[in-house]
Amino acid sequence: MSFDLNEFLFGQSITAYEYFGAHFMTVKRRKGVMFRLYAPMVQDVSIIGDFNGWNIYTHKMNKIDDNGVFELFIPGLKNYQGYKFHFKNAKGEYVDKADPYAFYSALRPNSESRLFDYQNFIWHDEQFMKKRNRNFKEALSIYELHLGSWLGKKDGRFLSYEEIADHLITYVKDNGFNAIEIMPITQYPFDGSWGYQATGFYSVDSRYGNPMQLMSFVDRMHQAGIKVILDYVIVHFALDSFGLIEFDGTRMYEYSDDKNARSQWGSALFDLGKDPVRSFLMSSINYFISYFHFDGIRFDAVSNVIYWHGNSNLGENTGAIEFIKRLTGKLHIAHDDVMLIAEDSSAYQGVTAPLEYGGLGFDYKWDLGWMNDTLKYYSLDPIYRKYHHNYINFSMAYFFSEKFLLPLSHDEVVHGKGTIINKLYGDYYQKFAQLRNLYTYMWAHPGKKLLFMGNELASFDEWNENKSLSWNLKTFPIHDSISRLIRDLNLIYQSENAMCKEEYDSRNFEWTMVDNSNDSIYSFVRRYNGEELLFVFNMTPNYYEYYEIPVLREGKYHEIFNSDKDVYGGNNQYNGLDVETGWGGKENKPFHITIKIASFGAMIFKVL
């Protein structure tokens, strides 16, 4: 082991898990576990566990240096045995704490850490890993899911990682997605937090199994050609007394001042300016990438890293920003094929700019502005949409300033917000027509895609972490047709170069109809290396037998997709034959095509 404690103390380590925690090893020909704890302000430390009857006197740890590192080797221990650290903290109180570096933990309501040897898993994804990259030049269509509620419980228990994989692989591939994003699976005590308030930042969530089972889950996804992205929380942690809160009797992991010690969610804020905290979090993320082969990390609430409490009026958190730059820089050096994705609602510039240009170094940023404007527009009565035309065209005014990812995530279908289809204006059938239009617009718009589970079913029920998706909807053709639409959009997205290659190059996008607010019809082209696609959207219930759409290239236009086809639940008002251009077009374009446009219709044409 080449662990450097000084590197850890100065906030430069990404391998702290190799030293701290509980590691199976052989010492002087005896097999057992080496325990190491970092807690600068404690004394009289014991290891208690089910192997010693939780006796505080039998296994005293040795303080091995003045920095607060304690160590003890205990022979004869086995996987799954529970343990905690018992010590006298800086307040003079004796407390029992879970291991901050534990690789496995007991399922709530229990709180002890558990021994687990995470080494020597046999992987079968060599071919996948050789080709893995950050998807800058490829389609990326992500299916976001919560493992516990995708299929729900069976006989009152959570399904294991492997049981979920049995069904998930087929479903993801059948719907055309090439990546999944799983909501946080670092150990967390309260089901209702969905993993966003964790206590174990190295512990795999025991609801669904042990570390080897999670490795098997990722391995099987990779063998099926599916990337796996892990949602990870770097901003805050849960207040449970056995966890990180005031760990050594001081605010060791959180901010020391009362003003910044607590988050807006009532949890404790990591002090990202403290160097040991930086090493703790960077090493945790590196652990999950290195040992679990995750292909990307989605970082939650980055705006709360950039600004104090996520409020730009409170100023930039320079210590946290420095941490982010250090994190992305070190991870990209160690794993140049892994995506780093920021969920950031702020207007901070350079989130996806390289470090050498003063950026934060992320690969992608969630476009929450696009999400908010788009859903707001589709919720309007079409009569009033002409007064809010900019809700649709504004996104392209700033799109090329970052590498954006378009999300319709879990955040949009909870807490009384209504599901995606519920947000849309109109009666039952108008909602479905507009949902088809919305998804076509989302896939047509430049940027990678993310869709939360259940949105592909057009579910009217908000997501509830305590029950499974409404799979019975698949028996209703109008709901099942939305899944068919998503599948076909994914297939077109992945097969058409103009939709996925060099999408962050402004030369490859151009509006052909952007100012037609009176009819609320939009059209634009996307191109790549001589290939060109035309996209047309009718945002009103008006039907047009003949409508002129301005275009940029002369030739034939072949309709490869129409959201009004009956296989998607529409009325079959589509353009069957190729359409030829005529001279002159609206908005000063050189040519036009005359097409049929369905009520709330969305079309994709390939220029021949």
- The neighbour count for residue 59, using CB atoms within 10 Å, is 18
Give the residue among 364, 443, 553 at the shortest CA–CA distance from 435: 443
Alpha carbon distance 574, 597 (integer Å): 7
Alpha carbon distance 97, 112 (integer Å): 8
Cα Rg of the chain, angstroms: 27
Alpha carbon distance 424, 408 (integer Å): 14
Tokens representing residue 520 in the block: 């609320």
Alpha carbon distance 466, 414 (integer Å): 13
- The neighbour count for residue 279, using CB atoms within 10 Å, is 23
Catalytic residue flag (residue 343): yes
Bridge partners (DSSP) listed for residue 557: 579, 607
**Which stretches of 74-153 are DSSP H helices?**
126-131, 147-150
Q: Rounded to 5 degrees, what are φ and ψ at 154?
A: -125, 120
Bridge partners (DSSP) listed for residue 227: 179
CB 504 within 8 A of CB 365: no
H-run or E-run covering 64: none
CA distances from 354 to 197, 361, 605 (A): 30, 5, 36
Annotated catalytic residue within 181, 205, 295, 300 = 300
Catalytic residue flag (residue 258): no
Helix/strand/coil for 209: coil
Contacts of 428 (CB under 8 A, 6+ apart): none
CA angle 145, 151, 157 (to 5 degrees): 115
Annotated catalytic residue within 205, 246, 343, 564 = 343
Alpha carbon distance 253, 270 (integer Å): 6
Contacts of 432 (CB under 8 A, 6+ apart): 421, 458, 478, 482, 569
CA distances from 24 to 76, 97, 211 (A): 10, 20, 15
Exposed e or buried b per residue across 227-259, where buried means at least 16 C-beta atoms within 10 angstroms of its C-beta: bbbbbbbbbbbbbbebbbbbbbbbbbbbbeeee
Alpha carbon distance 345, 402 (integer Å): 13
H-run or E-run covering 280: helix 275-292
CA angle 452, 327, 311 (to 5 degrees): 65
CB 140 within 8 A of CB 111: no
Active site residues: 300, 343
